[in-house]
Structure 1
Amino acid sequence: RTVFDLIPKDYQSLRLFCAGRLDKESEGLVILTNDGDLANRLMHPSNLVVKRYQVSLKQPFPKKNIPKLIKGIKYEGERMKVESAALLGNQCNDASKEVDVQMHHGKKREIRNLFIVLGYDVKRLKRYQIGTFSIKGMPKGVGIILQKNEIQKLFKHENTL
């Protein structure tokens, strides 16, 4: 199934664009719009629209490896990196199975591949925020219609890591 299979019948006749993508193993916030220009603005890296992800790993990720995520690594001829990253959970620990990453670009499976190349298996990947709009606390599978002021929030830059 795709995200378009989940759209209520009332909206299925609209010509909707998906602003960004999530691979089939990922979950979380997806923005659908009938405005192609808006979709392009949200996806183009020059607009610096921040996307935040919670990455759940099979094994603990050490705090000392966070600079590797930010500096990036070369994979299949391209540099993969995140803008910022932080361990989640008990901050007293030097490692965690939960990592919060933030990026404003995104190549196919970039986050997964970055962790895999560093030797960590991704158990779950969830995008929970675009711009300052977050789905934290929202039930899974729920769709809402954004108002103009909420759309503008997608383009605000707030680095909270």
Structure 2
Amino acid sequence: MTGGSGTGGGERLQKRLARAGVASRRAAEDLITAGRVTVNGEVAALGRTVSPTDEVRVDGNLIETAGLESVTFLLYKPAGYVTTARDEYGRRNVLDAMPPVPGLHPVGRLDKDSEGLLLLTTDGQLTLTLTHPRYGHEKAYRAWTEGDPGAAELRALEEGVELDDGPAQALSARPAPGGALVILGEGRNRQVRRMLEAVGYPVTRLLRYRVGGLWLGDLAPGEYRQLSPRDLHDLLNPAQVPRHAWERAEREMLDRWG
């Protein structure tokens, strides 16, 4: 069976790979260009389209997408879980808390000791949209610290502090009992922890309570729910979330965590 160039109808190969959770579309293009993707046994070229009956493999592994719809979950990640699909040290990872959905993977990371809102999806394009710095989706955190950061320290977070991997700046930093509320427009490794330590207030507990226009809500640690189309809209379009909904979510968050 021959694959052909497949530039007519059908689904773009990189979209098929993203829909299966293999990679974002951009990363899928790199896989194709590197010659790691085959269609019906032939190495695929960039620009290839595929039908539902075509056999797609990456590095020889069959990609199953027939009838697969993208699915996204919101998990309250408990502290102590690593945000990886596999862990060489045998530690508990976030997929241990989820149903066995093919292609499900974490969107970004929360370090092992942190907790709160973590998204998991089978949609590679959604992963790219939420993790690439150019899109600037806000991530909001409640931090408990050794001592209470003052106005000067919180202002320093907003003006920017120097970290070992470059300057880092909070979009907002507000006081909270025993710590602070910090909002970032990016998500570098352990960034909130390192920023607060840089101004003299090491973090003792860190919880992420919002990403974009989506809030953690009343989930308990280890609980999850599947996102609805409305949830996905709010996640990606926070400016379109009604003001009263923001105020209610903020009030509920403060009532729960202070």
Give the TM-score of the pair, scaled to structure 2: 0.55
Trace 1:6-25 onto structure 2 (pairs within 5 A). Answer: 6-8=97-99, 12-25=100-113
How big is each residue's C-alpha offset from its partner over 1:42-85, in whole Å with a ceiling of 9 and x where there is no partner? 11122221111000002111122211001111121401221111
Q: Report the AA paired with residue 187 of structure 2.
A: G
Structure 1 spans left out of the alignment, 5+ residues: 90-96
Larger radius of gyration: 2
CA distance in 1, matches of 2:228, 2:122: 14
Question: Residue 119 of structure 1 corresponds to which residue in structure 2?
Answer: 200
CA distance in 1, matches of 2:216, 2:164: 33
Across the aligned residues of Structure 1 and Structure 2, the Cα RMSD in angstroms comes to 1.8
1:80 aligns with 2:168: yes
Structure 1 segments of 4+ aligned residues over 4 angstroms from their partners: 158-161
Q: 1:68 aligns with which of 139, 156, 171?
A: 156
**SS in structure 2 at match of 1:41:** helix
Q: Which structure has more strand as a fraction of its residues?
A: 1
CA contact (8 A) 1:47 1:155 kept: no
1:34 aligns with 2:116: no
CA distance in 1, matches of 2:165, 2:101: 41
Question: Residue 4 of structure 1 corresponds to which residue in structure 2?
Answer: 95
Q: 1:134 aligns with which of 183, 202, 215?
A: 215
Total equivalences in the alignment: 151
**Relative contact order higher in (CA < 8 Å, ≥ 6 apart):** 1
How far the C-alpha of 1:40 sits from its partner, in A, is 0.8
**Overall identity of the aligned pairs, in %:** 28
Q: 1:102 aligns with which of 183, 201, 221?
A: 183
CA distance in 2, matches of 1:145, 1:119: 39
